[in-house]
Amino acid sequence: MTTARLFWEQHACLPLTLEADVGDILRYRRPGGAYVSVNVGYAPHTKEMSLGFLETFRRDVEAHPDLELAGTVAEIDAAHAAGKIVVAFDLEDSRPVDDDLDMVQTFYDLGVRSLLPSYNNANSAGCGCLDAQDTGLTAYGRELIRTMTQVGMMADGSHCSIRTGLDISAIAGEACKPMIYSHSAMRGLYDHPRNVTDEQARQCAATGGVIGIPGIGIFLGENTATIEAYVDHIDYAVQLVGPEHVGIGSDYSFDAEDAQADLEANPDLFPEEYTRWGVIQFIDPETTLTVEQALLDRGYSDSDVRGILGGNFRRVARAVWF
C-alpha cells in the first residue's frame, strides 16, 4: 500500500496581529499531515513586533490540540507518520533582525527557519524586486547570509532583486548550502517583477535549492488563481531545473481582506504591478492540496510528486537546519 505523501507548505500568512487564530492552519489538514511555515514579519515590522508575533503564535500552537511546533526534520517526520500538522516560522524581510547578526540565532531558536533579506525595496541588506537600480546584496547583507548558513537558517531570495537573488546563490554555494525561493513564480512563463528569471532558478538549483511556487493570481498570470495556472508554473520550473528543485510555497493569506487593504495603503511596497488587477485572487489551502492529484493527472511519477509536494523542501531542511 502506498503511504501518504508529505505535504510541505513553505510560506503562508496568518494575520500579523496578536489576535490571529492559529486554528486557521487546520485548513491544511490531510492524510499524512503537513508542515506549514507561517510568516512572522516583513518590511513594516520591527524586531519587537516580530518577537511578539512569535511569542503569541508559539503559545497558541502549543496550546492547540491539533497543532504542534516543529524545528527539526525528525519532528516533521514523526508528525507526518502520525498525520499531524506541524508549524514553524519565516521572516519576509531582514528589518526585524535590526542589523544585529546575533538576532539570527535568536530567531532560529524561536522557530524561524527561513529569512529573505529584502522585501520588494532596498534596505540595509540589499535590493528588492521593485528597485530600478539593482546593486544586489550590501556588505552587511552578505554577512547576514553567511550568518544564516552558519546558524542553520534557509536563505530565501523571494521578493529580492535579480542580483540579490544571484548573490544569495553564490554565498550559499560557497558554504555548500542550498538556498530557496520560498514563494516565487516563473518569469519566463509570466513576466512580473516578483517572479524569478530562468537564471535565478538555475543558480538556485545549482546550490541544491528549491523554488516554491505561489498561488497568487497576479504572479501566475492576469490575476489567474486556478490550479491549472499553478501547475503550469510547476511544469515550467520542472522543465527548466528538474522536478527535484520545485516545491510548494502558496503565499496564502488567511486575512485576504486585510491584505488587500495593506496593498492599497502602501503604494511604496505594492505599486501598480500589484494593484492593476483590482482585488488579488488567491489559491486557498483546500485548492492547493489538490495539486497532488493535478500533478498525477499530468503524468508526473510518484517519486516526482513526492518531491514537489514536500520531499524537496525536506531535503533542503536536512542540509541546512541544525
pLDDT value, residue 145: 98
Q: What is the pLDDT of residues 43-55, one digit of tens each?
A: 999 999 999 999 9
**CA distances in angstroms from 4 to 28, 36, 168, 253, 260, listed in the order given:** 14, 17, 34, 26, 35
User: What pLDDT is recorded for position 1?
Assistant: 37
pLDDT in tens, 68-126: 999 999 999 999 999 999 999 999 999 999 999 999 999 999 999 999 999 999 999 99
Which letter does DSSP use for residue 307 in this model?
A: I
Which structural domains are found in the chain, ordered by start?
8-111+177-320 (3.20.20.140)
CB atoms within 10 A of CB 302: 11
Whether pTM exceeds 0.95: yes
DSSP-derived letter for residue 5 is P
pLDDT at 2: 52
Q: Is 291 helix (H, G, I), strand (E, B) or coil?
A: helix
Which segments in the chain show pLDDT lower than 70? 1-2
- 40, three cell numbers: 512572522
Distance CA 43, CA 52 (A): 15
For residue 267, the tally of other CB atoms under 10 A from its CB is 11
